[in-house]
Amino acid sequence: MSVGEFVKSRLFLRHFLISVVLTAIILFGIFKILAAYTFHGREVMVPDCTGFTLSEIKNSPTFNDFDFVVVDSVYDPQKEKGTIVTQDPLPKSKVKEHRKIYLTVIASVPEKVSMPDLKDLTLRQAIATLQTFGLVIGKMEYVPDIGTNAVLKQLYQGREVRPGTMLEKGAVIDLVLGMGVGGSRIQMPFLIGMSRAEALRVLAADSLYVGAEIYTDKKDTVNARVYKQSPDYSSGLLLNVGQSIDLYYKSDAGFDWNTYMKTFDTTRKSTTVAPKPAQKSTSSKDEF
C-alpha cells in the first residue's frame, strides 16, 4: 500500500481523529488546572493591615485570603511593639487570592549601634557623626581648654562612654567641650516656633545647650514646638559659650501658631545699629 492510499484509508483517519480529540482534551485539562492554580479571573481587595499585630491578622477571617511575610522591622518608641506600619501591596489593591503580603513591623527591641569615637572632633563633626550612627546629641558642657568646641569627653546617662560600646539607637549623648581662649560671646538665638530637633541643632551650632525642657500641655516630641525660651530673646543679648537656655514646648494641636508668631515680628526685626565712625578728611586744610 502506497503512502497516498494509507492517508486516505479509514485506519489513518480514525487514528487521526482520536489524536485530535485526545490533544484537545489534554489542553483543556491543562488550562483548567492552570486557571485553578493561578486563580485566574478571581481577584480580591487587599485589606489595610497597618495597626494590627501579626497574630491578630492571622486569627481574623478578614485576612484569610492572603499569606503574610515579615520582611523588615523598625523601632519606634511611640508605637505599640509588634504592630504593622507598612505593607506591600498597598491597601485596596486588587490581587489574586493567597497573594503574599510583605509587612514591616515595629520591633520589640531597639536596634543597637556602636558608639563612635568623638574625642578631639569639632562640635560640627561630632553632631554629624552622631546623626550618622542614629544617636542624638544631648547637653553640652563647656570647660576651660585651649581647643575651642573640641570634644573632650562623651557621656551617656552621666557617665563617660567608650568607643565601641553598644547602645540603643536613639540614645542621647552628652558632650564636654573646650571653651577655648578669649571668652567668646554668642548672640541669643530666636527659637520660638521651632521643633525640638530644630532648636537643638541651632543651639549646638551656636555652642549653647538646652537646659530645662518643659511641656506645657503634653509631652509630644514629634509635634511640639518651642513656645517660650528662657532667657527671653533680645536682639542685643549676648550669651557666654556653653550657656544653657530653658525651652517651653506647646503642641501643634489646637493652637494658632501664626497669630502667636506675629507678636514676635517687631522684636525680631529690631536690631541695634552701631554708629558709624567719623571719617577722617583727606584734604590739606585738615592736616594742620
Q: Which long-range contacts (CB under 8 A, 24 or more apart) does 55-58 make?
A: 57/84
Residue 5 domain-assigned? no
Is-contact 115 161, C-beta < 8 A?
yes
Residue 18 domain-assigned? no
Residue 286 domain-assigned? no
What would the pLDDT profile of 96-119 be if each residue is shown by its tens digit? 777 889 999 988 777 889 999 999
Average pLDDT (260-278) is 56
- Whether residues 135 and 207 share a domain: the answer is no
- Whether residues 52 and 102 share a domain: the answer is yes
Residue 27 domain-assigned? no
Residue 177 domain-assigned? yes
Of residues 29 and 183, more confidence is placed in: 29
CATH number at residue 161: 3.30.10.20
**C-alpha span between 155 and 248 (Å, rounded):** 25
CA angle 166, 136, 138 (to 5 degrees): 110
Is-contact 215 228, C-beta < 8 A?
no
Residue where a domain terminates, one of 106, 125, 141: 106
Average pLDDT over the chain reads 80
Boundaries of domain holding 178: 110-182
How many structural domains are present in the chain? 3
Select from 172, 173, 174, 178 the least CA-distant residue to 148.
178
- Whether residues 211 and 259 share a domain: the answer is yes
Task: Look at residue 173 in the predicted model and tell me its pLDDT.
Answer: 94
- How far is CA 85 from each of CA 55, 71, 158, 273, rounded to the nearest angstrom? 15, 12, 34, 53
Handedness of CA 153, 155, 158, 159 (dihedral sign): negative
Is-contact 186 238, C-beta < 8 A?
yes
Q: Residue 17's pLDDT band (boundaries 50, 70, 90)? A: confident
Task: Look at residue 234 in the predicted model and tell me its pLDDT.
Answer: 81
In the predicted structure, residue 142 carries a pLDDT above the cut 60: yes
Q: Residue 267's pLDDT band (boundaries 50, 70, 90)? A: low
Residue 13 domain-assigned? no
Task: Look at residue 275 in the predicted model and tell me its pLDDT.
Answer: 35
Is-contact 152 177, C-beta < 8 A?
yes
Is-contact 137 175, C-beta < 8 A?
yes
What would the pLDDT profile of 47-68 be if each residue is shown by its tens digit? 898 889 888 888 888 888 888 9
- Whether residues 191 and 173 share a domain: the answer is no
Task: Look at residue 286 in the predicted model and tell me its pLDDT.
Answer: 38
Is-contact 112 86, C-beta < 8 A?
no
Residue 80 domain-assigned? yes
- Whether residues 267 and 190 share a domain: the answer is yes
Average pLDDT (55-83) is 85
Task: Look at residue 166 in the predicted model and tell me its pLDDT.
Answer: 94
Is-contact 203 242, C-beta < 8 A?
no
β-strands 112-114, 151-156: how paired?
unpaired
- Ranked by mean pLDDT, the top range of 69-83, 88-102, 111-125 is 111-125
- Whether residues 83 and 114 share a domain: the answer is no
Task: Look at residue 39 in the predicted model and tell me its pLDDT.
Answer: 58
In the predicted structure, residue 259 carries a pLDDT above the cut 80: yes
- Whether residues 102 and 114 share a domain: the answer is no
Residue where a domain terminates, one of 66, 87, 106: 106
What would the pLDDT profile of 200-258 be if each residue is shown by its tens digit? 888 877 778 788 888 888 776 677 899 999 888 887 788 877 778 899 998 887 788 88
Task: Look at residue 114 in the predicted model and tell me its pLDDT.
Answer: 94
Task: Look at residue 40 in the predicted model and tell me its pLDDT.
Answer: 56
Residue 115 domain-assigned? yes
Residue where a domain terminates, one of 83, 106, 129: 106
Percent of residues, the chain, with pLDDT higher than 90:
20
- In the chain, what's the furthest Cα-to-Cα distance? 143
DSSP the chain: --HHHHHTSHHHHHHHHHHHHHHHHHHHHHHHHHHHHHTTT-EEEPP--TT-BHHHHHH-GGGTTEEEEEEEEE--TTS-TTBEEEEESPTT-EEETTEEEEEEEE-SSPPEEEPP--TT-BHHHHHHHHHHTT-EEEEEEEE--SSTTBEEEEEETTEE--TT-EEETT-EEEEEEE--SS--EEEPP--TT-BHHHHHHHHHHTT-EEEEEEESS---TTT-EEEEEESPP-TT-EEETT-EEEEEEE-STT--HHHHHHTTHHHHH--PPPPPPPPPP-SGGGG-
Average pLDDT (162-173) is 92
- How far is CA 229 from each of CA 215, 218, 224, 233, rounded to the nearest angstrom? 12, 17, 14, 7
Weakest mean pLDDT among 64-73, 99-108, 271-280: 271-280
- Whether residues 177 and 192 share a domain: the answer is no
